[in-house]
Structure formats: C-alpha cells, structure tokens
Amino acid sequence: MPHSPSPHPSGFDAVIVGAGLAGLTMAVALKQAHAGHLKVALVDARLGQAFKPSGRAYALAAGVCQMLDALDIWPDLAGHVQPITKMVITDSRLNEPVRPIFLTFDTPDTTAGVTEGSYATMVEQDALWQALERKARAVGVMMLSAEVVDHQSHPHQVAVTLDDGTLLQAKILIACDGAQSPIRKRAGIAMIARDYDQSGIVTTVRHERPHDGVAEEHFLPSGPFATLPLTGNRSSIVWTERTGRVKTYLSMSNEELVEEIEQRFGLKRGRLTMLDRPKAFPLRIGMARRFIGPRLALVGDAAHLIHPIAGQGLNLGLRDVAALAELISDAVGLGLDCGSATVLEDYEQARRFDTVLMAGLTDALNRLFSNDITPLRLLRNLGLGLVDRMPRLKSRLIREASAVNQQMPKLLRGEPLDGKV
C-alpha cells in the first residue's frame, strides 16, 4: 500500500532544505528577524548524526564577516579566525627555484570592526558550522533530521515531503541542498555546467615560523596553489591539480606529500608538518538557468558553482542569504506573502548579475593562469606587474573583494534585519 504522508501540525513561513553553511545562516537570519515570529524549519539528515570534523577553512570577505557579526555568530568564533593581512601572488613553473612576486595586496585601513581592517578573514568551517547550529537551535529554528523526498508547489503554499513521511507546508521553500540539489532537479531547473578537469586538494599544515597573516597564491601550470593563514603557525592549503594526477598524490605517504607541498610552498616558514590527510574536490563551473521556481528559491551551491581560485564560492552563497533574508523580512514587515512571485523575482534580479560576474571572472582567471603558454605567461606577468604599480586600482579591487558597499543588503553592512531579537 502506498505510504500516505502525515501533515506536520503547523504551517511554516519558510522551509529550508540543507544544513550546510548557507542553509544554517539562512535559518538563523530569518528566525532573528521580526522578533522570532517567523516559523522556520531546517531539514537535513546530518542534523541527527554525530558531528564529523572537516578540517576545512574558508576565506570570508569582510562583508560576510560583518553579516556573521550582525547575526551574533562572530563572538563564538574566537580562536578560530585569522585575518589576512597581505596577499602575495606569484606566477612560475613548478621546477623554478624562486617564485617571483608579481602582485601584493596589503590590508587596507579603511574598513574596521570584526575584520580588523582586513578584506578577508580565514574562518574554520567546523567552528562556524557548530556556532551556526547552536544559534539556530537557540533562536528556535525547528531542526528536522530527515531527507526531503518530494515537493509540490501550489498557488498559496508549497508542500514538502520528508523521508519519514512527514508533510511540511510553507509559504516558501529555500533550497540550500548543495551542488547536486535534488530540489533543483525535481523542479526541472537545468544547470549549465562544465568540468574543469581540475580538483582542489585541501589539507592543513603546521610550519615552524609564523605566517604573519600572509596568504599566498602561486599560479602554476596545473592550477593555483594557495596557502591561507590559520591561527597559530598553521596554514590551509588549497592545491589545484589536473584530476588525472590527483589519485597519485592522494595515495602518497604524508612524508612524500609534504615534499610535494614544500616544492610549491618553499621553506620560508621552515619545515612543514601535515596535520590532516588531504581530501580532493572535483572542480566545476555551473549556473542554474533560474534561481527561482514557484514558491522556490535556490541558494548557495544549489544555484551556482565557481572555481575556488578566488575563494568566493561560499561568499556568493552567503550573499544570496543576505539578499533573500532581507526581501522575505521586508515582505513580512509589510504584511505581504513572503513566497510570492514578486519576492522571488526580486531575489533573482538581485543575485543574477553578481553571480554571473564572479563565475565569469574566476573562469577567466583560471583559463589565463592554469597553463604554460609562453606568450600568455608574458602577457599576464606584464598585467600583474602593472596592477601592482597602480595603488588606486588595487584599492578598488580590494573594496570589491571585501563586498562592503552601501548598495549591499543590510546584513552585509553589519546591520540587523528589522525586528531582530
């Protein structure tokens, strides 16, 4: 006999699917608006499972850090954040004995507050995820440990079926269910995507000497090799390689891998020790044809995938969160339907340009730098050298990377949404 879903007793304003960093932040933002009056559910099977450390870290732009502060998450991250004081960019071949510096970005002193004037801050994923999860529970998000298996949009609500048979009803369904987004697929929204034939190998190393907050990105023919400062004498490594070679690196012993990393990183910070086994993530660029459907919004990797060359993927997703949370909060404040076509179309319009721009920019950077074609190498080194001697252009680039300006949604400016608890 077919299993008939049992309706959840209460209807929700928003059902969010996926408790990754985008989904959790969305849940906290909505629940904090309007003095906690919105009914918000967050669904993900991982919510009922034991916490699995990832060992990963993200470079978060200043605007996103301000948003985490406005949501009262930042104080919980003490000891897990490291401001980037300087970014150094080099371009060389793997076997070259020195990696000449072509471009540097120093910390501007024009912004301040939680980011200590830095345009980006390294934040450890596990601490961030746990802080968001604690906050979501504390502010009263309904956390449901389940998988979503179906959803049906109707004129006035959306019905969401969970794998335990529960039926949730909401005004808006927010899909934060990641790159493979089952909700996006079920809604028939195509994603235009292309594999890079590159994978990002991620690990953490300890070095003998301090990094002084300096992040480095070495453009090598197989892809960028980034060292990103963490607290203490530690750095997160994001090492892009051709996918065909990744298996060989992952099967190496820690000692062999350290040698490979030292060949790219150098010994300027002394000997390296690997602190966790590396993991590899195949890299893709992808853009959903629409970010919305009837009573449905796609957020984060469910809507877009970009190359990590500029460390912007999660930043984009959290900018989606800031835009959509404000539109929903404003609609509720005016007594309007928060899942209406108007709210959804405003969301798509607000996010489309930024996303396409960032996807195009990261794609172009990767094409320009991940190769060993001599004329291109000369051209890009000339270009980097020129930018390095143009302080005005550099400060503009820093401002853009910080994602702090007056046109940004309130949360990214560090302002709470209306009626925050």
Ligand X SMILES: Cc1cc2nc3c(=O)[nH]c(=O)nc-3n(C[C@H](O)[C@H](O)[C@H](O)COP(=O)(O)OP(=O)(O)OC[C@H]3O[C@@H](n4cnc5c(N)ncnc54)[C@H](O)[C@@H]3O)c2cc1C
Annotate each residue in 251-290 with x if it binds ligand X (CB under 6 A) or - if it does not, as one string. Answer: ------------------------------x---------
Longest dimension (CA), the chain: 73
Binding residue count for ligand X, defined by CB under 6 A: 31
Question: Which parts of 222-251 interact with ligand X (CB under 6 A)?
Answer: 238
Distance, in Å, from the CA atom of 289 to the CA atom of 179, rounded to the nearest integer, reads 14
Q: Smallest gap, in angstroms, from Cβ of residue 379 to ligand X?
A: 27
User: Of the ranges 131-139, 177-185, 188-196, 403-411, which one interacts with ligand X (CB under 6 A)?
Assistant: 177-185
Q: Measured from the CB atom, is 7 or 48 closer to ligand X?
A: 48
Residue selected from 301, 326, 346, 348 as contacting ligand X according to rule CB under 6 A: 301
Whether the CB-CB separation of 52 and 20 falls below 8 Å is answered with no
* Residue 220 structure tokens: 């090598």
Q: Are 376 and 367 in contact (CB under 8 A)?
A: no
Least distance between ligand X and beta carbon 226 (Å)? 8
3-state SS, residue 58: strand
Parallel, antiparallel, or unpaired for β 272-274 and 158-162?
A: unpaired
Tokens of 90: 């080099």
CB of residue 375 to ligand X, shortest distance in Å: 29
By CB under 6 A, residue 182 contacts ligand X:
yes
Q: How far is the CB of 256 from ligand X (least distance, A)?
A: 21
19 binds ligand X (CB under 6 A): yes
If binding is defined by CB under 6 A, does position 83 make contact with ligand X?
no
Taking the C-alpha atoms of 298, 299, 304 and 310 in order, what is their torsion angle to the nearest 10 degrees?
A: 170
Closest CB 291 distance from ligand X, rounded Å = 13
Q: Please give the residues from 311 up to 350 whose contact with ligand X meets the rule CB under 6 A.
A: 311-315, 317
- Per-residue x/- track, 132-161, ligand X (CB under 6 A): ---------------xx-------------
Q: Are strands 57-61 and 40-43 parallel, antiparallel or unpaired?
A: unpaired
d(CA 64, CA 404): 9
Contacts of ligand X in 348-367 (CB under 6 A): none
Alpha carbon distances (Å) from 44 to 113, 126, 152 = 34, 17, 18
HSE-CB for 114 with a 13 A CA cutoff: 30
Shortest separation between residue 186's beta carbon and ligand X, angstroms: 9
Identity of the residue, 123 or 332, whose beta carbon is nearer to ligand X in the bound complex? 123
Kindly tell me which of 22 and 29 has the beta carbon lying closer to ligand X. 22
Binding mask 43-72 for ligand X (x = CB under 6 A): xx-x-----------xx-------------
Cα separation, 78 vs 346, in Å, equals: 36
Cα distances (angstroms) measured from residue 386 to each of 58, 142, 367, 377, 382 = 29, 53, 20, 14, 6
Q: Which stretch binds ligand X (CB under 6 A): 16-24, 87-95, 266-274, 373-381?
A: 16-24
Cβ-based nearer residue to ligand X, 186 or 206: 186
Q: Which is nearer to ligand X, 83 or 313 (CB)?
A: 313
Contacts of 266 (CB under 8 A, 6+ apart): 99
- Contact region with ligand X (CB under 6 A), list: 75-83, 87-95, 309-317, 408-416: 309-317
The interface region with ligand X, picked from 171-179, 246-254, 353-361, 397-405 by CB under 6 A, is: 171-179
123 binds ligand X (CB under 6 A): no
- Residue 317 or 414 having the CB closest to ligand X: 317
Nearer CB in complex with ligand X: 302/332? 302
Residue from the set 14, 15, 16, 18 that interacts with ligand X by CB under 6 A = 18
For the bound state, the minimum distance from the C-beta of residue 17 to ligand X, rounded and expressed in Å, comes to 5
In the bound state with ligand X, the residue whose beta carbon lies nearer, of 63 and 313, is: 313
> According to the 3-state scheme, what is the secondary structure of 219-236?
EECCEEEEEEEECCCEEE
Helix, strand, coil share (%) of the chain residues, nearest 5: 40, 30, 30
- Best CA proximity match to 62, nearest among 134, 123, 20: 123
Burial class (CB in 10 A: 0-12, 13-18, 19+), 247: exposed
- Cβ atoms of residues 174 and 26 within 8 Å: yes
* 194 touches 282 (CB < 8 A): no
**Cα 235 from chain centre:** 18
DSSP-derived 3-state class of residue 285: strand
Contact set with ligand X (CB under 6 A): 17-23, 43-44, 46, 58-59, 147-148, 176-178, 182, 200, 202, 238, 281, 300-301, 308, 311-315, 317
